[in-house]
Amino acid sequence: MTHIQACLFDLDGVLVDTAKYHYLAWKRLANELGFDFTEQDNERLKGVSRMASLDILLSIGKLTLSEAKKQELAARKNDWYVESISQMDHTEILPGALVFLQACRDNGLKTALGSASKNAMTILNNTGLIPYFDAIIDGTRTSSAKPDPEVFILGAQELNVSPERCVVFEDAEAGIEAARRACMSCIGIGSPTTLSQADFVIASLADMTVERLKQLEQA
Ligand code: BG6
Ligand code: MG
């Protein structure tokens, strides 16, 4: 590939471990509705927008509800989630994230956030991550959720870098598909089995260096 000029990062599951808070809030909702919701079920919600997540959850519980009721349930889940993330601080930044973000900046690579979450700014503020980004694109700025490429295309535009020169870091299948559709390289964070569509997969950003990124240029 051509010379890499920018790194675009997903938030939940890549920079911070918020998947557990999403899981606890969805599980509480499912339990209130009278069915169980397992960690395995939760895998299907990673990277998926709030309303699409609710649809998956309701299909697991075999429930069909009106649009008004769905809005009410999504708001209830979000209230619980917001309560959890309001307690977050920098200690919840995932291993290796800060070091790699800083290394990108020290090496002249631009950085952007590309998240589906409408709560991204709260998390970035509470963890002190805001100064690490040249551009921040979140769920309040997009009209189509991942796997649609909009979030990453907007990020590249805001950085003024062409998509082929961007690398996306993602922990969700929907996010990797979004990166592919945006014509960007993609590094998966998590399990190689689940994230087989990525260029390569690492366990966490602690395994990432700018030197390793350069290997993608030779690929
Ligand atoms: C993604 C998460 O980053 O954001 C999903 O992986 C979540 O689990 C989605 O549903 C939307 O988040 P929010 O904060 O807008 O409900
Ligand atoms: Mg994620």
Burial of 46 (0-12, 13-18, 19+ CB in 10 A): buried
Helix (H) or strand (E) holding 105: helix 97-106
Kindly state the DSSP code that residue 12 receives in the 8-state scheme. Answer: B
Q: What percent of the chain has pLDDT over 90?
A: 91
What is the model's pTM? 0.95
| Structural element, H or E, at residue 215 | helix 210-218
Q: How confident is the model at residue 43 (pLDDT cuts 50, 70, 90)?
A: confident
Is residue 218's pLDDT more than 80?
no
Task: Please report the pLDDT score of residue 30 as a whole number.
Answer: 98
Judge whether 134 counts as a catalytic residue: no
Q: What is the pLDDT of residue 105?
A: 97
Name all residues whose Cβ lies below 6 A of ligand 1.
11-12, 22, 45-50, 53, 78, 115-119, 139, 172
Distance 27 CA to ligand 2 centre (A): 18
Average pLDDT over residues 93-104: 98
Cis upstream peptide for 147 (omega within 30°) = yes
Whether 156 and 184 have beta carbons less than 8 Å apart is answered as: yes
Q: Cα(187) to centroid of ligand 1, in Å? A: 20
Range 22-27 average pLDDT: 97
Question: Which of 15, 48, 113 to mutate for ligand 1's pocket (most ligand atoms within 8 Å of CB)?
Answer: 48
Q: What are the Cα distances from residue 33, in Å, to 36, 57, 69, 126, 142? A: 9, 10, 12, 31, 30
Q: What pLDDT shows up at residue 216?
A: 78
- Whole-number Å distance, alpha carbon 3 to ligand 2 midpoint, is 26
Q: What number is the average pLDDT over the span 176-201?
A: 95
Q: In the chain, what are the domains?
A: 6-16+90-218 (3.40.50.1000), 19-85 (1.10.150.240)
Query: What value does the mean pLDDT take over residues 26-53?
Result: 94
Ligand 1 pocket test, candidate residues 26, 50, 51, 152, most atoms within 8 A of CB: 50
Q: Model confidence over 137-164: pLDDT tens digits?
A: 999 999 999 999 999 999 999 999 999 9
| 79 tagged catalytic | no
The predicted pLDDT at position 1 comes to 54
Distances in Å between the Cα of 141 and the Cα atoms of 31, 59, 120, 151 are 32, 28, 11, 8
pLDDT of residue 152: 98
Strand order in the sheet with 185-189: 135-137, 110-114, 6-9, 166-170, 185-189, 200-202
